[in-house]
Chains A and B, each alone.
Chain A
Amino acid sequence: MTARKVTGLASLLAIALLLGFLENILPPVLPALPYARLGLGNVAILLCLMWYGLPFAWIVLAVKCIVLGLFSGAPIMILYSLGGGAFSLLSMWSLLKLNKNGLPAVSAVGGIMHNVGQVLVAMLVTMTPAIAVVLVYLSFFGVVAGAITGVIAFFIHCVIGSKVKE
């Protein structure tokens, strides 16, 4: 654990938090689907996963969800974002391990799994299986949003990826 690594992780976390705050303030991308967000914070999580591995990505994800949840004024949202984040992170990690897909595809699957996790938690918390219907619409958006964040992550990796040393 070098100072360089600590700073790198801290920067990623700061970026993830900042993007998260920004997205909470901005109006929803699609008015018909107010729950749909671009998930720009996912760029930081994905980069963290690529550069520092799964354990550190877990830490950044957890801190991001908890801090964002506390500051958004609705702490119950921590549960939803952690559920979604965990699904997303594990799916992206498995795909990266397979090492057969491009980053946008990895991120797109991560986007869908984020929705799946969030809706699963919502079903458990509200005990209403009917919420699953929302998942279908959300997933279409999740693919697009995930692909966009994947492309962004790719270019960031191209520019500064080689400078990141473990």
Chain B
Amino acid sequence: MSSDKKKEYCLFRIWDVFVLVLVLALLAVTLYFVISPKRGQMAEVYRDGELIRTLSLDVDTEIILEDLTIVVEDGSIFVKYADCPDKICERRGRIYNAGESIICLPNKIIIKVVGKGEVEAIT
């Protein structure tokens, strides 16, 4: 990096408009494809990308894995207890719409709500 070239830093320049419009347009387009809140019927639990459990949201249950306690109640699913320090998945709360997910990064666990017989669009 040449130190003789003095750079001016500003709060706002006209180019920022282009950047913001571009970014927001991209986000709006992707958001359009993502939002379709439909109540899910099933929940899938993945560990390391492998499907380990499939649960029906109609049946209230409590599943105790070695690091997570997952509860199905009133058509929703949530993490009741996680042994990881950040507790992000606990704070995520209840999810019930198809496409919603709880992700626990430290334990590499993903809980995903899916509709019945729905074809997985993203994979």
Interface residues of A (CB under 8 A from B): 24, 27-28, 31, 34-35, 50, 53-54, 72-74, 76-77, 80, 96, 99-105, 108-109, 112, 122, 125-136, 139-140, 143, 151, 154, 157, 161, 166
Contacts and interface: CB of A to CB of B under 8 A. Distances in A.
Contacts of A103: 9-11
Given A112-B23, A140-B27, A130 B3 contact: no
A161 B8 CA distance: 11
Contacts of A77: 105-106
Given A34-B91, A53-B1, A101 B16 contact: yes
B110 A128 contact: yes
Given A96-B7, A108-B19, 6 more contacts: A31-B91, A50-B9, A101-B19, A104-B16, A128-B49, A151-B11
Contacts of A112: 23
Nearest to B109: A126
Interface of B: 1, 3, 7-13, 15-16, 19-20, 23-24, 27, 30-31, 34, 46, 48-49, 84-86, 88-89, 91-93, 99, 101, 103, 105-106, 108, 110, 112, 120, 122-123
B44 to A, nearest CB: 10
A161 to B, nearest CB: 8
A131 to B, nearest CB: 6
Given A77-B105, A101-B19, A109-B19, A130 B122 contact: yes
Contacts of A101: 13, 15-16, 19
23 contacts: A99-B8, A100-B13, A101-B15, A102-B10, A102-B12, A104-B11, A104-B12, A105-B15, A105-B20, A108-B23, A109-B23, A122-B105, A129-B122, A129-B123, A130-B112, A130-B120, A133-B34, A133-B99, A133-B101, A134-B101, A136-B30, A136-B31, A139-B23
